[in-house]
Every structure is written in structure tokens, then in C-alpha cells.
Chain A
Amino acid sequence: MSLKMKINHLNLHYGDFHALKDVNIDITENAVTALIGPSGCGKSTFIRTLNRMNDLIDNVTITGEISLEGIDIKKCDVIELRKRVGMVFQKPNPFPMSIYENVIYGPKIHGAKDKKVLDAIVEKSLRGAALWEEVKDRLHKPALGLSGGQQQRLCIARVLAVEPEVLLMDEPTSALDPASTLKIEDLMEQLKKEYTVVIVTHNMQQAGRISDFTSFFLNGEIIESDKTENIFYKPRDKRTEDYITGRFG
């Protein structure tokens, strides 16, 4: 198992507010890394630093180093970086276009034109997001006509379509019903064969079910990072144990 991303002494301030404090994590290739912790502890803030989505927010200062395959992402072209490190959000955010157009949006802006190529990308991405069977007969219908769970899988397909290396997901199932949640959890097993997955969840059972590694955040700090089974069954820190056993958060 090789190292995909490495985060070293990462600090982030929103104005004066110190939101991430000396964060260090290794992200392993072809594995699912879960980020858990109570609401407001900085999970979203952290995951946004990995493809520089925080660049879009005013007044953010970041120090420390994040590297992708050994290269500092600050030195990467941000467009290139986000092609390699794609992101799925908490609330499904399909574009107000057809299902087909949603999927080809990324490939098209990155230069794909040929209809056959685009058709193939659409099928591959939708299959990759376990949505193909449900939508193959209505690809040209509006994406907003899909159910919430389908919309979220479409958003995953939209990211897969640009063939990223790393897939960031910020609580991708928190707005979904249990059945849709299950579908997306099942998908993780498939996705990690081809991609490196980082997922934020405040649902510990979910982290336990789907992840290989887990980092526990509290108040902007990482309390503990380890193999998921160790975090759940042999936590080293008392606070991790308290959180896992549901004593706070």
C-alpha cells in the first residue's frame, strides 16, 4: 500500500479563528480513509484543503504542507489539482441540466468532444456510481427529477467522469435515506479499487463499515489516526474511546 497524499503540520485560520491545528495525516492509495469527529471540529475544513476548495473562501490562511504523490499541491495548477482530486458534497448538487449533460460537463471542459467518447464516458461513470441501470433509459431527462440518493450518485458519477485519482466526499450520505445510504456505502468497496477515497462522516457505524483507516478530529486537532479496527477496538486516546462509545459528540 503506497502513500497517495501526505499532510504535514497543516494549520488553517479563518481570520483569527484557528480551525485546524497542526494536522498530520497520511492518505493511503486505494483505500478508504474516514474522518470522524463531532460537528464543528474541522472535518469539512480539512477535506476542502485537499483540493484547495478553501481558495474560494476569503480570509483563509493556510500553513504547512500537503503533497500529492510527493508534490506540494500549493505548487500545482489548481485546475489540474482538482481534476486529480475531485470532490462530492454533503448535499447533492446536480447542475440544472440533463443527467447526460451533468456527467459530460467535466470531460467536456477538459477537452473531450467526440460523441462516441462522451457516450462511453457517461456509461462508464454511471456504472461506476451504480446508477446506470436506473437511468439508462432517461439520460436526457433533467437531473433534478432524480431522487436525492440518485442525485448524489449522479454527483459521484460526475466526478468519476474526469477520472480523478482521489475522491473526496464530505458526508455524502447525511442528506439521504437509509436505502440510498446503503447503496453509496456498497459503492465504496468498488471505488477504492480504482481510486483513493477520503470520506467525512459523523456516523461512526458508517466509518466502521466502509473505511480502512480512520482519523478522529476534535476541535481542529487530530486526536488519533490509525487502522479503522484499531480506532474502534483499541483506541489509544481516552477521548477517542469516549467518542466511539458515544459519550460525547
Chain B
Amino acid sequence: MNYNKLVDNVIKRILLLFAAISVITTIAIVFSLLGETVSFFKEVSIVEFFTDTRWTPLLEPKHFGILPLICGTLLITAGASLISIPIGLASAVFLSEYAGNRTRKILKPVLEILAGIPTIVYGYFALVTITPILQRLIPQTNIFNAASASIAVGIMTIPMVASLSEDAMKAVPNALRHGAFAIGSTKFEVVTKIVIPSALSSILASFILAISRAIGETMIVALAAGSTPKLTLNPLESIQTITGYIVQVSMGDTPRGSIESRTIFAAGMVLFMMTLLMNIISMLIVKKFRRVYD
């Protein structure tokens, strides 16, 4: 008896340790960002950082305005969401409410495969397939452009929206659907007025997750979006995202401790804040729209 209790205790502690690793890592990441970010802002004013519209830390004359990178990131995120949210939601509705068992059995694994493709493959796909198509449709499209990367990021995040939203819709009890059918609802009314509203909190959370994923996506944008920080809303131009910039500097030969190398920590901090904001929004949404069924 006592021996069993001891084993239980030891196991509990080991598991706690593992759980603690992720918490500790998160804290460590924040601190490592923080230290270098503070040093960065000793040399560059925070006002310049957030108001200057040029980002040229590697070129003379140096400018440290993060706006072009934020703009690039948001451009990619908006474009990707335009793809992933409608297509993902439509797929989820189809899988959960319309598809027969056999269709579902084929489609779900396909979605999972889509989710499992390495992002570098999506990056190549954007560069060698999507971009040429875009260039044929609109000749002035740059070889590196935001649209192509957005589309690839969007496709990459479809499975996330589809599968989380489908789970949420499947969790809506059939009794609710039957209640709606029994007073003369069409299938479409059941889906739009009962199923989606009932599952809304998780569906919105899946959107936010896809958006966060797009904000942080690196490989696709590094390959296909270009490396020209630019304050533009034109998706056919070459741009740069925060992540794209961080990769560019990390891969280059910027000396450690220089102002150039510190830019990536400041940029990383902004990225971290953006995804943190998304997480907070997500939590608020889940809380606000949560519906309990029983």
C-alpha cells in the first residue's frame, strides 16, 4: 500500500515537472526577448519605432520604423484568412452536416494530410505554382508577392479551421437539430440558425487560431513574399513580414550585440504581442459565446 502511494507520488511529480517545462520555456522566451528589446530601445526611440514608415536597419541611412513589417504581416494574415476562414468553415459544415459517412471517411484523412505537409513545401508550392498562375492572370505581379504567400498560408490553415469547427458542430446534440426540424426548418436553417450559433465560440476560436498561425508563419513568406519591407496594401508587390525579416537577419552575418541584430528581438517582441493579443481575444470570445447544452 505504502509503496503504491510512493510510486503515485513520484509519478505525479515527474508529470508536474514535464508540465512545468512548457511554462518555464514560455517565461524564458519572454525574458530573452525582453533583455535584448530593452537594449534596442536604449538606442532607438520607441516613437520612431512605431511611427517611422521605413525599415532599413541593414542599409544606410538606417531607419527603424516597424510599420512596414507589421503591414506586411497583416497583409499576409488578411489574405490568408480570406482563404482559410470561408473554405474551412464551409468544409466543416459539409463534413459535419451534409457528408455521408463514406465521403467523410475519405475527406477527413485528406484534410489531415493537408495539415501535415511541411511549410517549406507550401513555400515552394507558392513560388513555383501559385505565383506563375497569378502572373498569367495579372502580368504586373512581382515574382515575390504577398498574394501568392497569402494563398499558400491560407491553404495551410484550412484544415485547422475545418477540423476544429467540425468537432464543435459535431458536439451540438442531435436533439437540437431534431427540435428545429420538427417545427418545419429546412436543413440550411438548422445549420445556420441552430448548429453554427450553438458551436459559435469554438468556431470563432478556430478562426483566431488560424489567424495567429498566419501571423507567425515564417517559411512560406520567407520563400514567396519577398524581402522588401514596404508600407503597401497592394498584394501583388514584394513585401516583408516580421517573421520574414527575422529569418533574413538570423541567416545573415550580422554580428551579435550590434544594433542590427537587436532589431530582431524588438521585432520578435512585436510578433509576440500580436499573437498574445490574438490569444486574449480568443479567450474573451470563448467566454462570451460559450453555450452549454444541458
Contact = CB atoms under 8 A, between A and B. Distances in A.
A95 B184 contact: no
Given A89-B175, A95-B176, A96-B292, A51 B193 contact: no
B185 interface: yes
Interface stretch (A65-73, A80-88, A196-204, A208-216): A80-88
B23 to A, nearest CB: 34
A94 B197 CA distance: 14
Contacts of B198: 95-96
Please name the 9 residue pairs, one residue from A and one from B, whose CB atoms are nearest each other, closest first. Answer: A96-B291, A87-B182, A83-B184, A93-B175, A82-B184, A106-B183, A93-B179, A79-B184, A162-B183
A234 interface: no
Contact of B180 (A81, A91, A95, A144): A95
Contact of A105 (B173, B175, B183, B293): B183
B253 interface: no
A155 to B, nearest CB: 7
B185 to A, nearest CB: 6
Contacts of A81: 184
Nearest to A83: B184
B293 A96 contact: yes
B186 interface: yes
Interface in B167-198: 173, 175-176, 178-186, 189, 193-194, 197-198
A95 B194 contact: yes
17 contacts: A89-B182, A93-B176, A94-B179, A95-B198, A96-B197, A96-B292, A96-B293, A105-B180, A105-B193, A106-B184, A109-B184, A109-B185, A109-B193, A144-B294, A155-B179, A159-B182, A162-B184
Chain A's interface size range is: 20 to 34
Contacts of B179: 89, 93-95, 155, 158
Contacts of A109: 184-186, 189, 193
Contacts of B293: 96, 144
A53 interface: yes
A159 B189 CA distance: 16
A91 B175 contact: yes
Interface of A: 51, 53, 56, 79-83, 86-89, 91, 93-97, 105-106, 109-110, 144, 155, 158-159, 161-162, 164
Contacts of B173: 93
Given A91-B175, A95-B198, A86 B294 contact: no
Given A82-B181, A89-B178, A89-B179, 18 more contacts: A53-B178, A79-B185, A86-B182, A86-B184, A88-B182, A93-B173, A93-B175, A93-B178, A95-B194, A96-B176, A105-B180, A109-B185, A109-B189, A144-B292, A144-B293, A155-B179, A159-B182, A162-B183
Contacts of B180: 95, 105
Interface of B: 173, 175-176, 178-186, 189, 193-194, 197-198, 291-294
Given A79-B186, A95-B198, A109-B185, A56 B292 contact: no
B179 to A, nearest CB: 4
B184 A110 contact: yes
Contact of A56 (B178, B183, B193, B194): B178
Contacts of B183: 82-83, 86-87, 105-106, 158-159, 161-162, 164
Nearest to A55: B181
Given A96-B198, A97-B197, A109-B189, A80 B292 contact: no
Nearest to B291: A96
A79 B193 CA distance: 16
Nearest to A88: B182
A158 B183 CA distance: 8
A231 B94 CA distance: 49
Contacts of A110: 184
A86 B194 CA distance: 18
A109 B292 CA distance: 23
Nearest to A109: B189
Contacts of B176: 93, 95-96
Contacts of B194: 95
Contacts of A155: 179
Give the residue among B178, B179, B185, B189 with the most A Cβ atoms within 10 A: B179
Contacts of B178: 53, 56, 89, 93
B166 to A, nearest CB: 19
Contacts of A164: 183
Contacts of B186: 79, 109
